[in-house]
Amino acid sequence: MKRRDFISKNGLLLGGLSFAPISAFSMPNGFSKKEFVSNRPAPDMRTFKSLEVEKTIKEVKEIIADKEIAWLFENCYPNTLDTTVDYEIIAGKPDTFIITGDIDAMWLRDSTAQVWPYIPLINKDDKLKKLIQGLISRQVKCVLKDPYANSFYKDLTKKSSWQSDTPTPIPGVHERKWEIDSLCYVVRLSHEYYKLTGDTALFDKDWDSAMRLIVETFQTEQRKDGLSPYEFTRVTSSMTDAPLFNGTGRPSKPNGLICSMFRPSDDATILPFLIPSNIFAVLSLRQLSTIYKEVLGVAIFASECEDFATEIDTAIQKYAVSEHEDFGRIYAYEIDGFGNKIFMDDANVPSLMSLAYLGAHAASDPIYQRTRKYLLSSANPYYLKGTAAEGQASPHTGKEKIWPMGIILRVMTSIDKQEIIQCLQMLKNTHGGTGFMHEAFHKDNPEDFNRSWFAWANTLFGELIIKIKNEFPEILAMKFEG
């Protein structure tokens, strides 16, 4: 079924029961949560179907002793496929458009993250493999359209709902917030697809043009001459919705790092050098170097990518690894090149917490462990403790709301079984009776949450449960409180 038809037919029922009021989940018509009836759309209403995903749901649910966690997994893991996919063949090639959920636009970051848990299955399911091929193709089109944009429409003539932004987004662009990680996620998806399948057909002329444009954009945003073509302003009451100084950001001193005017939360950075995103760029550039050297045989560009990665990594170690008075040498979150640093984290990915998840560090690395210890302490202004849960937050949702994504990433990067159990208990207790993850919930009241239909968080929860199954299956044999 086409996504547009799904939206038209289902109206407010997107994401299962996503837009129903909280009371709808509190035992309507005698319903008890102990029954745990699936919140998935009916099969004929799902936007994409995969036999391997259905098989995985069945296999994983069978070993989960806690019925509520099994229910959450069944609802969340397939949510991207169930509700957000528009797949078709265009000009003889697969084309996949993945909306983020409750916003009818595709983010480069979210779209990669949303399908990531399904990628291990692509060699068993040709339909799923073509879905990923189509998403790579669609992302290439987006990059070539505007490498500074973070989100797009499928209809390339559609005008943005942010027409009052300066500069006005060109048709087909939803929003033009410059975020390093948006382009990193494009590389991440292509590299993982190739690594798993060995399929080189995606590395065509358009793909090559998009990758070279990504590298060129990164180089431009090093701002070694102090200049950038990028600026962004918005008429808004939110101070985090645009950079200062007429949309150009605070001053920065060139040091080899890449400036990012926005974080993965789509909030403006405070200091221009966003460290988790620069670390992500190092990974992406090295992935490109490998592809161009080993597959495409383009030694000069491969060396350019590798040298660029080394330049950024050297700058990170020199300027972003800093002595904290309580935790020793850890990563700062943002710096400006003048010696100013911000110590915090944001629950979105890439974050400092997610570095082990992304593959930048082993979970046991000393610098990562020290940084992680800081992030989970009261010294981190965005680590919140409430009566419902504790976990990483984001300035994007204020001072009192915890992100399920932050708790999930804590588990993803943990080597402590008791920590994993504690976090899984919190996730079970804080879905607000909906059977889905959310963007954020109030630390003292899980029923006060943001975004009923946030497909990335849902699918990430599914990825987490599969990881626990593979590494600590005995945890899924437990029954949790509540």
Cα distances from 63 to residues 38, 232, 471, in angstroms, run: 17, 50, 13
> Quick check: 468 and 424 in contact, CB under 8 A?
yes
Question: Which residues make beta-bridge pairs with 334?
Answer: 274, 342
Sheet holding 273-274, edge to edge: 273-274, 334-335, 341-342
> Quick check: 265 and 350 in contact, CB under 8 A?
no
Residue labelled with tokens 């919930």:
441
328: left (phi over 0), alpha (psi -120 to 50) or beta: left
Tell which residue, 481, 475, 482, has the closest CA to residue 65: 475
Q: What are phi and psi of 349, to 5 degrees?
A: -110, 125
Cα distances from 406 to residues 298, 384, 427, 438, in angstroms, run: 39, 11, 10, 11
Instruction: Quickly count: other Cβ atoms within 10 Å of residue 227's Cβ.
Output: 9
Crossing angle of helices 455-471/108-115, nearest 10°?
A: 40
In the chain, domain spans: 1-76+382-482, 84-199, 222-381
Q: Which residues contact 150 (CB under 8 A, 6 or more apart)?
A: 107, 108, 109, 175, 176, 177, 178, 179, 182, 262, 266
| Second-level CATH architecture of 222-381 | Alpha/alpha barrel (1.50)
Ordered per-residue pLDDT tens for the chain, 482 residues: 454 554 444 443 444 433 333 232 233 333 345 679 999 999 999 999 999 999 999 999 999 999 999 999 999 999 999 999 999 999 999 999 999 999 999 999 999 999 999 999 999 999 999 999 999 999 999 999 999 999 999 998 899 989 999 999 999 999 999 999 999 999 999 999 999 999 999 999 999 999 999 999 999 999 999 999 999 999 988 888 899 999 999 999 999 999 999 999 999 999 999 999 999 999 999 999 999 999 999 999 999 999 999 999 999 999 999 999 999 999 999 999 999 999 999 999 999 999 999 999 999 999 999 999 999 999 999 999 999 999 999 999 999 999 999 999 999 999 999 999 999 999 999 999 999 999 999 999 999 999 999 999 999 999 999 999 999 999 999 999 87
> Quick check: 475 and 417 in contact, CB under 8 A?
yes
Residue labelled with tokens 């170097």:
289
Q: How far from the centroid of its chain's Cα atoms is residue 114's Cα? A: 7
Tell which residue, 219, 263, 221, has the closest CA to residue 242: 263
Evaluate if pTM is beyond 0.85.
yes
